[in-house]
Structure 1
């Protein structure tokens, strides 16, 4: 312990530290307590009080000035923490009724009726226990850990928020490009219409001009012939009659040309386009996409219903071979038998739109925000606009089989109902052909009969269903990762995920739907023939409503299962 007159800062532990020096991060032992300053003072700070007239009259206290006889140090134990409400007062009072500390003003104002209000230095030895400090310290450390966990979580969420902002901005840019493309297409069509009308009018005017010029030449020739035959009355008579006939014909021609309608072109704006844009405040809505918590348990059935997807002009029984959800929650269904793509309002449980496809569809997936791609049996991929009405757009002729299809970052991943997975760009150029696993010493075929394909929930892996009852996992470059299987499934065909780490696979000949974890663990069949499942082709899960849609071969009804 340093002596009472120590003026050097020290790393020693003192019973009482100088309050002013502590504010300067200096460690000096206190020798006095200043009543007016309400703080402890070292020898130097006590001496400073003698120098300044305003401090000269301050009263210093030491042990002899206090009632407590248990104090063993040279100074009284007095609180120096100032009240957070009454800034000029020290928190030196204790209310035993409420177990709270405060300054004299706090006690006078809010603890006036309390019977156990005392000055802390008078009762400190009776109310203070070192064990309470240790217990409080443990509680504080526990709260620190909780807050540190919250801070780590918020840091992670800030990164997710920043990444989501980038994704949202990118989506807006892409949407803007789509709108610009649509406007450019509309502009091009309007320009074509102007050019077509211009050419039509120009051709008509040139034709009439040429006809009028021909009539002028004929009339001049008739007049000249008539005048040159004045020596021969008979000839002149004939020429005159021919000229009169030409005059009559010319009158008819002139009359037809005089009734010319307005010739100027004028563009009339479609006010609906402008009005639609005026009604909008933004390009869309911004919402919060809360990540779904992983689920490791099997789903159970809460309710069952049927969705009739047959429409008036269907020529045969429906065959919903593939389905997927759009971003706004509408369900797209590929009807193989009727060669149609159908859009279903899942809330209304009815088909709200459809378009005829130039071939038999076998798989559908979403591509850009308002677009879908459909694989056809005629070796083509048909793109469909998902605007107000389903509309066919461009088409890619691949020259080879296309069956299952998935999309990410302007790359199409296409199975061929055989042992090949192709990667194409959006113009149909083949980027890669994947057939074998090259990770081991021996090269071996990955697929036997590749069927439908999707991305996993984190979109960093491909899940490809093989007719040989396997779900094969590849990375986005086509490198083999693993295979998953379940003995309860036969002839696997359709596949989807729940957004929580689970994969649903339908068995065409086993008449069931199997639930698997992405890590390969199988949770068994959650739907069987006892639930009305027969020859299931497709599965699609709506994680917002926890509903699984199952399309079946040659059935007008899609089975709808509310899961829990």
Structure 2
């Protein structure tokens, strides 16, 4: 049909069958095959990490040439397959590390010391800056890091996690966790349950991958213990093991499984919800010295560990 000067005109059409196409449609072979060559997110079978042995594969140097101070990586978050965001507390920065190429691909200078980081939807991330009492939102689009808006906090904020449009942020002074919106409005505060103080030093927290999801909280003054809370702040369980000393970062790695750094015990422990136990999966035999944070990439079956004040990350892969 065409339209000219307000008038509708019609054309008469004839359809002629193509013999080659007709034979193809009648064939059992079809037009070809469809293969999935890539996708942004997919469900993959998750192994029971207690059955996996680990082998040190490599080191990754995360210190940039312009940095005068030794790196102190205090936080990490998996952005996508093999890509991690790292917070460098000593050098006031966030870094994007590519596990495949073992290199820092992007670096962003921040207005203060960065402690922890979590990934948000839409290529965004959130970083805590304790000494500035604020959260810095940032963009990771296209593998380039850039600052977004700032969220002012009431005091020094440390650990951070994200779930279902809510940020969970921990504070060491007046120990507590605040659940806040991405606009910075406080929804609730977790400090006591039935009049009892929930924790002493919530340096790190993570949201589990279980159903229903829960919060796990760790900190070095909780010596052997990791706390589990409901998302409305109720104390659920304490996981404790004498092989874990002065825990630092805790990270959910799969349904019912979490990794915890033992800063004082020089190890990484696997916490399993189904039996309530912790077991050492990396230790001093793996040349661990004061591990501060741990991350996991399920696609590459790799554990990444950062030590206290060190320029190198250690990468362990399933053996």
Please give the TM-score of this superposition, normalised by the length of structure 1.
Answer: 0.47
CA distance in structure 2 between the aligned counterparts of 1:294 and 1:530, rounded to whole angstroms: 23
* Shift in alpha-carbon separation, 1:336–1:482, aligned structure 2, 3 A: same
Is the Cα–Cα contact under 8 Å of residues 292 and 500 in structure 1 kept in the other structure?
A: no
1:452 match:
204
1:14 match:
none
Is the Cα–Cα contact under 8 Å of residues 298 and 515 in structure 1 kept in the other structure?
A: no
CA distance in structure 1 between the aligned counterparts of 2:182 and 2:256, rounded to whole angstroms: 29
Gaps of 5+ in 2: 1-37
Higher deviation after alignment, 450-459 or 334-343: 450-459
Residue 302 of structure 1 and its aligned partner are, at CA, apart by: 2.9
Residue 483 of structure 1 and its aligned partner are, at CA, apart by: 1.1
CA distance in structure 2 between the aligned counterparts of 1:560 and 1:291, rounded to whole angstroms: 21
Is the Cα–Cα contact under 8 Å of residues 210 and 255 in structure 2 kept in the other structure?
A: no
Residue 383 of structure 1 and its aligned partner are, at CA, apart by: 0.6
CA distance in structure 1 between the aligned counterparts of 2:107 and 2:41, rounded to whole angstroms: 31
Is the Cα–Cα contact under 8 Å of residues 449 and 466 in structure 1 kept in the other structure?
A: yes
Gaps of 5+ in 1: 1-284
2:89 match:
336
* Shift in alpha-carbon separation, 1:524–1:320, aligned structure 2, 3 A: same
1:482 match:
237
Indicate yes or no: 2:265 matched with 1:501: no
2:77 match:
324
Indicate yes or no: 2:48 matched with 1:292: no
CA distance in structure 2 between the aligned counterparts of 1:528 and 1:332, rounded to whole angstroms: 24
CA distance in structure 2 between the aligned counterparts of 1:315 and 1:445, rounded to whole angstroms: 41
Higher deviation after alignment, 340-349 or 294-303: 294-303
* Shift in alpha-carbon separation, 1:510–1:431, aligned structure 2, 3 A: same
Is the Cα–Cα contact under 8 Å of residues 497 and 504 in structure 1 kept in the other structure?
A: yes
Residue 329 of structure 1 and its aligned partner are, at CA, apart by: 3.7
2:139 match:
385
2:10 match:
none
Of 521, 526, 530, which aligns to 2:276? 521
1:396 match:
151
CA distance in structure 1 between the aligned counterparts of 2:67 and 2:51, rounded to whole angstroms: 37
Matches of residues 424-439 of structure 1 in structure 2 within 5 Å? 424-438=180-194
* Shift in alpha-carbon separation, 1:288–1:397, aligned structure 2, 3 A: closer
1:423 match:
179
Aligned pairs, number: 276
RMSD between superposed Cα atoms in Å:
1.8
Residue 543 of structure 1 and its aligned partner are, at CA, apart by: 0.9
* Shift in alpha-carbon separation, 1:296–1:559, aligned structure 2, 3 A: closer
1:307 match:
60
SS in 2 for 1:450: coil
Residue 323 of structure 1 and its aligned partner are, at CA, apart by: 0.6
Residue 381 of structure 1 and its aligned partner are, at CA, apart by: 0.2
CA distance in structure 1 between the aligned counterparts of 2:110 and 2:246, rounded to whole angstroms: 27
SS in 2 for 1:403: strand
Please give the TM-score of this superposition, normalised by the length of structure 2.
Answer: 0.82
CA distance in structure 2 between the aligned counterparts of 1:391 and 1:287, rounded to whole angstroms: 22
Of 137, 143, 163, which aligns to 1:408? 163
**Per-residue CA shift, 1:386-439, capped at 9, x if unaligned?**
01320001001112121000011221100112521111111111111111123x
1:560 match:
315
**Per-residue CA shift, 1:327-386, capped at 9, x if unaligned?**
354111100100110001111010000000111011001012301100012210001100
* Shift in alpha-carbon separation, 1:362–1:287, aligned structure 2, 3 A: closer
SS in 2 for 1:292: coil
Residue 534 of structure 1 and its aligned partner are, at CA, apart by: 0.9
* Shift in alpha-carbon separation, 1:529–1:451, aligned structure 2, 3 A: same
Residue 294 of structure 1 and its aligned partner are, at CA, apart by: 5.6
The structure with higher relative contact order (CA 8 Å, sep 6+) is 2
Indicate yes or no: 2:226 matched with 1:466: no
SS in 1 for 2:254: coil
**Per-residue CA shift, 1:62-119, capped at 9, x if unaligned?**
xxxxxxxxxxxxxxxxxxxxxxxxxxxxxxxxxxxxxxxxxxxxxxxxxxxxxxxxxx
Residue 293 of structure 1 and its aligned partner are, at CA, apart by: 4.3
CA distance in structure 2 between the aligned counterparts of 1:287 and 1:444, rounded to whole angstroms: 44
Is the Cα–Cα contact under 8 Å of residues 257 and 270 in structure 2 kept in the other structure?
A: yes
Residue 558 of structure 1 and its aligned partner are, at CA, apart by: 0.5
CA distance in structure 2 between the aligned counterparts of 1:296 and 1:394, rounded to whole angstroms: 38
Task: Identify the structure with the greater strand proportion.
Answer: 2
